[in-house]
Structure 1
Amino acid sequence: MAHSKYALLIRLADDRQQAAGERMKQAQGRLNDARSRPEQLDAFRAEYQQRLTQGGMKGMSISQWQDFQKFLLRLNDAVTVQQGEVERCIQRFMLEQQSWQNEYKKLKAYEKLLKREQQRASIKTARLQQKNSDEFATRQFWNRQHQDE
């Protein structure tokens, strides 16, 4: 392929698209991690709630019961915070996905421009070859016609 004015643009656009894809992949990983944490906290909270119930049946002091309640409130707060983190990660992923899509569109646009440039060059070359062939045929015909004279 002959060096095109679009080659550098395509290479840069491809690099940007690859980088955007990597950022999107990382954002997806963070989102997946963030989504698993509230589930883990919920499971831990349920387990701790069960311990409180079992401890209450066996008998526990008021201070122990209050400590359990305080800890459960902290777990509830942690779940709420983590759900906010999930929302933040969703937003970040969506931004990175949009960025990747934009870079992909730019890359495809440059590739389309390159293809058009190549098609124009191909047509120009074909026309030049046809012109040269026509001139050669005309000269051959002219020479044959005037050789007899």
Structure 2
Amino acid sequence: MANIKQLEMIVKLREEAETKAAQLMEQAHQAFADQEQQLNTLRRYRNDYLQKLTQQGGEGLSGQSFTQYQQFVMRLDEALGRAEQSTNIARQVYQQRRQGWLDARAEKRAIEVLIEREQAQQVALQNRREQHQLDEFASRSFIRRSSH
């Protein structure tokens, strides 16, 4: 019985660890979603800007305007590269935190299974004791009846 109490205490600690891991995972997921949204916004902005450049180019652009457009597109491409890198890092952090949560959940479940097995063993032991007592009682009753 003491073993179960100890395991139950460990389960409680594992539940707290699982909850903390779930919170960290959710924060990482939100950060990843934010990064991904920012990346997509930047991609749309770049595409819109290139469409505008194409439209302006069809109407005629001065060399200086074209150079300015080109330089701005290069800066957008650099920003996109940084945003993609940040998004990839955020994705990796999320995946690590998710794995941490899955590991914490598995640890808690393993201990819960140990508790269930221990409880089942205790019930089986109690049943054997009761059966032994019943058998002993029946034997004594039989002996008493036989001797009379």
* Same fold at TM > 0.5: yes
Amino acid at match of 1:15: E
Query: Corresponding residue for 2:87?
Result: 86
Matches within 5 A, 1:12-31: 12-31=13-32
Return 5+ residue gaps in structure 2 as ranges.
none
Q: How many residue pairs were aligned?
A: 146
What is the TM-score with the length of structure 1 in the denominator? 0.82
* 2: CA distance, partners of 1:112 / 1:46: 55
CA distance in 2, matches of 1:20, 1:34: 21
Normalising by structure 2, what TM-score?
Answer: 0.83
CA distance in 2, matches of 1:121, 1:75: 68
Q: How does 1:130-141 map to 2 (within 5 A)?
A: 130-141=131-142
Counterpart in 2 of 1:123? 124
User: Which runs of 5 or more structure 1 residues have no equivalent in the other structure?
Assistant: none
2:111 aligned counterpart, secondary structure: helix
Tell me the amino acid that sits aligned with residue 133 of structure 2.
N
Give the deviation of 1:87 after TM superposition.
Answer: 0.9
Larger mean CA deviation between 109-118 and 3-12 belongs to 3-12
Distance 1:46 1:119 in 2: 65
Is it true that 1:10 corresponds to 2:11 in the alignment? yes
Query: 115-124 or 33-42: which moved more?
Result: 33-42
Residues 15-24 or 2-11, more deviating: 2-11
Structure 1 stretches of at least 4 aligned residues deviating more than 6 Å after TM superposition: none
- 1:141 Cα deviation after fit: 2.1
2-side partners of 1:43 and 1:80: how far apart? 14
* Percentage of matched positions with identical amino acids: 27
Structure 2 Cα separation of the partners of residues 103 and 97 of structure 1: 10
- Shift, 1:61, TM fit: 5.5
**Map of 1:76-115 to 2, 5 A cutoff?**
76-115=77-116
2-structure distance, mates of 1:8, 1:54: 69
When structure 1 is superposed on structure 2, of 125-134 and 53-62 the one drifting more is 53-62
Q: CA deviation at 1:10?
A: 1.2
Please provide the CA RMSD for this pair: 2.3
